[in-house]
Amino acid sequence: MLQPDFSKGSGLLPAIVQDAQTGEVLMLAYMNEQAFQKTVESGEAHFFSRSRGMLWHKGESSGHVQRVHSLRLDCDRDTILLQVEQVGGAACHKGYRSCFYRQLTPEGSRICSAKVFDPKEVYS
């Protein structure tokens, strides 16, 4: 099987997460080799948290897991694209469907989508 080239980027590669049905970009995270293998084995997204310095299963505390429909690599094998079914409707830990819920405009920024859940209720 073709594998990502984890020798680039200090062993961490960007992983773009996209809704498999709509094509909407839900989030960007990072994977190390262990996160990639766990994702392949389980069929659900796993990432490496740079801030916590540890592996994490997306949705482990919220229940909003990402079921992987396909894994793709870019031409240099140093970026991963996951096409997923977003269970629970939200990928963002702030409660939005996508982590890209803010739009930058010449006047500043604005929130361009509705919240799916209240993080205070989910992450207690």
Count how many residues are written for the chain.
124
What was the pLDDT predicted at 2? Answer: 83
CA distance linking residue 56 with residue 86, whole number of Å: 16
E strand or H helix at 40, and its extent? helix 33-42
Q: What pLDDT, on the 0 to 100 scale, is given for residue 86?
A: 97
Q: Domains (ranges, CATH) in the chain?
A: 11-118 (3.10.20.810)
- Nearest CA-CA partner of 36 in 64, 110, 63, 9: 9
In tens digits, the chain (124 residues) has pLDDT values of 689 999 986 899 999 999 999 999 999 999 999 999 999 999 999 999 999 999 999 999 899 999 999 999 999 999 999 999 999 999 999 999 999 999 999 999 999 999 999 999 988 7
pTM score: 0.92
pLDDT of residue 44: 98
